Amino acid sequence: MEETTKRCEPPKKRRKIEHSEVIAEDQTEVDHINRLPYEIFCQIFQLLYFKEQQQCSLVCQRWYAILRSDPFVNKFRFNFSHCFGLPMSVNRQEYMEKCVHLVFHDCGSYPEVESQKEMMDMVRKAQSADDEPGPSSRETNGLTSEQYLFSGKLPLKTLEIRASFDRMRRFLSDRLQAMENLQELHLTVLPEALEDVPAQIAPCWIIAHATLPSLVWELYENTNGYEIKLPALEKYQLDIANDFDLKTLRNHSSQLVEFTVWFYFERAMEQTLTLPFPKLKRLEAKRFDNKLNSPEPNTRVDDASAERFVRSAPLLEDVYLDSNTVAFRLFRAICLFAADTLKRLTVRDVIFPRDLFLLILELKNLEFLRLKNCILEEGSRLRMVDFPRLQHLELISSATCFRLDPGFGLVRRFKYSMDSQLSKLCHNFIMLEDLEVKLRTKAPVAEHIRERFHSIESLTNLHTLRINGMRTYTRPWAFCTPMPAVKRLVLRKCHLLRCNFKDLRKLFPHLRVLELDATCIAYKRLPAGVKPMTHLRRRLKEFLPDCCVTVNTASTAEPVSTVLKMEDEHGWKLHLIETKGIKMIKLRKGRNKVD
């Protein structure tokens, strides 16, 4: 019998994994990600904030190329400060070559400059930054800022110029026509500069462009003589402060699709209402004055001119009325003669007589309605209103206008400032899917929260809840009941206490998305050596493991003592001005009235 012996084989040695193999595995995963379609990457990157997109652009060349493509580059604005008439450094020119939206600040137009020496010092600072020392960074090729801007080589789509009127006239001149791809021109007129020519002897400025569709005039000072020749103009934002403004509107009213106007004297509104607007779809109007009282009742001539104006705009579908004077003049005619076409209506800062406000019931095709700081002068709220197509409703500090009864049962999105009607809202808005509650209002709301905030749980179709302006003295968490239907919670301009993290999961058990928008997280103390926002964001994610937590760059984390000071908004702004050395510049918004 043969005896067999079992050999003991030595254990197999583990093969050492080379670093190159790990890189190869990671590279395989990266290659798999890079093979995803371009559209998927765009959808993902659009959900990220700007700083997060910057980090992604450093990963690979493909991601860098995607984040530098049109959908993303079109969202960025480049603020450039320089002086018209002076040469510009080469490195700034290279940076501007990729810019699509540009804001140009003319240093020579700043009204706080009291001497030529101060202006030249400001120009030198604009040309040489602190992090770019040495003569090589300030090399120029002889081109001045206006010559390079209007060379026709830049891919600019929108351009905003902030300068005095005379400096714009002298340095822009007729160069605007060289920008063939320009889609919007925004001119902000600052007070007079040192070298401006007096208005009495200044020549007329002719602004001409063959294809420009949008022009915006924003005035902090009166304009001098000018004329526009824009055959393709469709969107026009205008502050009417003199007869030159009226003349430009008279020559282009028949081609406007969107029109935003601020009236600075009565005759401007009267003459505007006599002009035809056959293509007008959106109107935004405001009367700039300091009158707080209601205007005088309209005469028959006033009503007739308003009626003629509305009838001359048969396509009108979106109206924004700001101030008593404009609303009293136009509201009646719009409700009676634009009811068939009007879909969106916004009214702000108006005290309505009840008989005038009742005309809003004629707008049966209304889909969007916003009332902000609107008050009924007498009588009770309107009840059982009938807006069969209304989907979006906003009532901000306008609780005296409507009673929140079943007449609004078809509304899907509602934004309103907190008041005693919250329980009625939750009982009658049976189709509501998106609710935004604004807690930062003039009246104290702590009592309403304590008594009525728990009723939000009865909104069975509510998927998105937005809380706006929560403070330490308005804490809804202590008076909430669980809301299983809410899947998205947005905290906008809120003060979220660190101790409230654990309550979020209890109150919103099915939460999938949490967004912090300009929200401040308050804490008592943190571990040493950590960044407050990074640490608290990580802790927030631990409390909500199955939830997507997004925090925008405007959100911060501060100690509780600092947050309590921030709740006095006016005092906090003054504190920032004092501590950060901010210099306040008085720009006169508004001009001398012309009667």
pTM for the complete prediction?
A: 0.83
pLDDT reported for residue 321: 96
- 3-state class of 492 per DSSP? strand
From the CB of residue 122, how many other CB atoms can be counted at a distance below 10 Å? 17
**190 close to 220: Cβ distance less than 8 angstroms:** yes
Q: What does the DSSP assignment read for 543-589? A: H-TTSEEEE-TT-EEEEHHHHHHHTSHHHHHHHHHHHTTPPP-----
Closest CA to 104 of 51, 176, 210, 204: 176
Closest CA to 587 of 103, 262, 111, 196: 111
At 99-108, the pLDDT tens digits run: 888 898 888 8
139: pLDDT confidence band, cut at 50, 70 and 90? Answer: very low
Check pLDDT > 90 for residue 138: no
Question: What tokens does 555 get?
Answer: 């959100």
**72 close to 66: Cβ distance less than 8 angstroms:** yes
User: Which stretch of 19-23, 80-84, 314-318, 579-583 has the lowest confidence by average pLDDT?
Assistant: 19-23
pLDDT reported for residue 364: 94
Segment 97-123 shows an average pLDDT of 69
**Which phi and psi (to 5°) does residue 517 adopt?**
-115, 110
Which residue type does 258 have?
Answer: E
Burial 407-433 (b: 16+ CB within 10 A, else e): bbebbebbbbbbbebbbebbebbeebb
Pairing of the two strands 413-417 and 434-438: parallel
User: Which stretch of 38-47, 119-128, 237-246 has the lowest confidence by average pLDDT?
Assistant: 119-128
pLDDT reported for residue 111: 63
pLDDT reported for residue 585: 60
Which position has the higher pLDDT, 81 or 461?
461
pLDDT reported for residue 26: 46
25: pLDDT confidence band, cut at 50, 70 and 90? Answer: very low
User: Which stretch of 188-202, 330-344, 545-559 has the lowest confidence by average pLDDT?
Assistant: 188-202
Segment 230-258 shows an average pLDDT of 94
User: Which stretch of 57-71, 315-329, 412-426 has the lowest confidence by average pLDDT?
Assistant: 57-71
pLDDT reported for residue 443: 61
Sequence-separated (6 or more) residues with CB below 8 Å from residue 333: 303, 306, 307, 309, 310
Segment 55-77 shows an average pLDDT of 79
Output DSSP code: residue 382: B
